[in-house]
Amino acid sequence: MWAEDFSDLAKTLKASEIRELLKVTQMEGIISFAGGLPNPKSFPVEIINEITSNLLDRYGEKMLQYGSTEGVNSFRDTLAEYFMKTHDFKNLSRDNILITSGSQQGLYLLGKVFLNPGDIVVVEAPTYVGALTAFQTFQPTYVEAELENDGMSMELLEKKLKELKKEGKKPKFIYSIPTFQNPAGVTMSLEKRKRLLELAHEYDVLVVEDSPYEELRFSGEKIPQLKALDNDGYVLYLGTLSKVLSPGMRIAFMIGDEEVIHKAALAKQGVDLCTSPFVQYIAEEYIKGGYMSSHIPRIIELYREKRNIMLDALEDYFPDGVEWTKPDGGMFLWVTLPKHLDSEKLLPKAIENKVVYVIGAAFYPHRDHKNTMRLNFTYPSNEEIEEGVKRLAKVIKEAL
């Protein structure tokens, strides 16, 4: 009835593949590798129950009131201390931290703060589809740097930055998910991290480090975050408690240069006034009271087993000519089919066989890669992982 009155922007909005797919996943008997959901078994329900009732007794009035847009000060202080102590971030104070309602909001705010239509954003190819959705409102132009098994190609990045410079252009920022990347599950090497920062300095470009999976390492050595290698405000870090506490609580944080944080807070005012203080107090106690550090190993144990089951099943059932990444953490892995296969065309066959995944093309701004798919291993049960891989293998073998 009102569709004609929608704004030009609203007219361009359509449901993403992933949202559409989530409908299919509700069907009886479907095994879904498509979602990006943490396993509900990872939620610390009892801890939250205990923390919440204690906090309500002590701080009920503050928890239920509006809060400042920047976030609850004591929570920002707790985060500053946490990241300096456990992640080696340099010289943080609460003024470097904005509490956001999910990192998804952080991405949207960055778009609001930095992007005019046509401005350039460098992204990994493939990249997080939700970032493309968040930035889309501001109509940027994307430059892609191919993702390799050890992170974004620095050669390609340098080449593109050089070309842009020759044309008198400069990206507004480089968006990267360096650790346990969504969708591909790969992690950027230390050498590449250092090189990325050198290039950021050389070409004077901000780096946005989006790191929701950082704490979920199952194997391999910890690699310092880009933000930990940054001494002078070239990295803007997005962190979230969605994967180590609860995505339903919608609590995350942006850490970076004071001037950017201040501007992002102004941008946030018009969006939601503030992130729920109720939830911020609970999150603060979850970190400060040591609950988070004792709970994370349980999540890691749960997910490590699931990753191993998926890797073993892929090895056992997938045909020759299909490749996949072997993530050291996070929630996803990335399958590359032989070039002539199109994962979008295979999807109806997969649904017929009662298994779903997300087509790889969804993760490329120009949707020009057809032979890949993302598999989530954290949500399905262990039995479903094995059975789902078996079903998918059958679909791929038939197509071959």
Ligand X SMILES: Cc1ncc(COP(=O)(O)O)c(C=O)c1O
Q: Which amino acid is at 339?
A: K
Q: Which amino acid is at 240?
A: T
Identity of the residue, 282 or 322, whose beta carbon is nearer to ligand X in the bound complex: 282
Stretch 322-381 residues interacting with ligand X (CB under 6 A): none
Identity of the residue, 274 or 393, whose beta carbon is nearer to ligand X in the bound complex: 274
**329, 213 contact by CB (below 8 A):** yes
Which of 32, 69, 78, 104 touches ligand X (CB under 6 A)? 104
Residue nearest to ligand X (CB): 102
Identity of the residue, 248 or 348, whose beta carbon is nearer to ligand X in the bound complex: 248
Stretch 30-69 residues interacting with ligand X (CB under 6 A): 36
Which of 126, 140, 178, 212 touches ligand X (CB under 6 A)? 212
Identity of the residue, 180 or 281, whose beta carbon is nearer to ligand X in the bound complex: 180
Identity of the residue, 97 or 395, whose beta carbon is nearer to ligand X in the bound complex: 97
Stretch 113-142 residues interacting with ligand X (CB under 6 A): 128, 130
Identity of the residue, 211 or 371, whose beta carbon is nearer to ligand X in the bound complex: 211
- CB burial of residue 72 (10 Å; 0-12, 13-18, 19+): buried
Handedness of CA 137, 138, 144, 148 (dihedral sign): negative
Which of 63, 145, 196, 252 touches ligand X (CB under 6 A)? 252
Stretch 263-322 residues interacting with ligand X (CB under 6 A): none
Which has the closest alpha carbon to 394: 317, 337, 342, 338? Answer: 317
Q: How crowded is residue 381: how many other Cβ atoms within 10 Å of its Cβ?
A: 14
| Residue count, binding to ligand X (CB under 6 A) | 14
To ligand X, the closest distance from the beta carbon of 241 in angstroms equals 8
Stretch that binds ligand X, among 80-88, 100-108, 136-144, 217-225 (CB under 6 A): 100-108
Q: Does 392 bind ligand X (CB under 6 A)?
A: no
The whole-angstrom separation of Cα 103 and Cα 236 is: 12
Stretch that binds ligand X, among 27-35, 163-171, 239-247, 278-286 (CB under 6 A): 239-247
Q: What angle do CA 59, 283, 377 make, to 5 degrees?
A: 155
Q: CA separation (Å) from 49 to 56, 247, 277, 286, 289?
A: 11, 16, 17, 11, 14
Q: Does 71 bind ligand X (CB under 6 A)?
A: no
Buried b (16+ CB within 10 A) or exposed e, 175-196: bbbbbbbbbbbbbbbeebbebb
The string of DSSP codes covering 299-338 is HHHHHHHHHHHHHHHHHHHSPTT-EE---SBSSEEEEE--
Give the binding site for ligand X (CB under 6 A). 36, 102-104, 128, 130, 177, 182, 210, 212, 240, 242, 247, 252
